[in-house]
């Protein structure tokens, strides 16, 4: 029996959409900029898209030195 659930090769990078907190819209290039365990201040995790990261000098959490990540 043929496997009819396979629709082709999977993309190399999973696609996802997230809300860019800087321009206020969805983006498929958004990456996590800051994460807070509590949302008491109303912010929580914040994502930024490629253009906003470039315009505002934002560094994604995954690209920050470990000491900076621990401080957020």
Hey, where are the domains in the chain? 18-71
Q: Return the pLDDT at 9.
A: 65
Nearest 5°: the CA angle 36, 45, 13 is 130
* 56 close to 22: Cβ distance less than 8 angstroms: yes
* 32 close to 61: Cβ distance less than 8 angstroms: yes
Which parts of the chain are beta strand (E)?
Answer: 18-20, 25-27, 31-34, 46-48
Shortest CA distance to 61 belongs to which of 72, 28, 21, 14?
72
pLDDT tens, position by position, 1-53? 555 555 566 555 556 789 999 999 999 999 999 877 655 666 678 999 999 99
Provide the β-strand partners of residue 25: 20
| Reported pTM | 0.65
């Amino acid at each position: 029996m043929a496997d009819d659930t396979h629709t082709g090769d999977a993309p190399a990078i999973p696609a996802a959409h997230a809300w860019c907190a800087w321009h206020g819209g969805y983006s498929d290039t958004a990456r996590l900029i800051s994460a807070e365990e509590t949302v008491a201040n109303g912010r929580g995790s914040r994502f930024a898209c490629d253009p906003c990261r470039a315009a505002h000098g934002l560094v994604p959490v995954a690209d920050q030195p470990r000491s900076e990540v621990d401080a957020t």
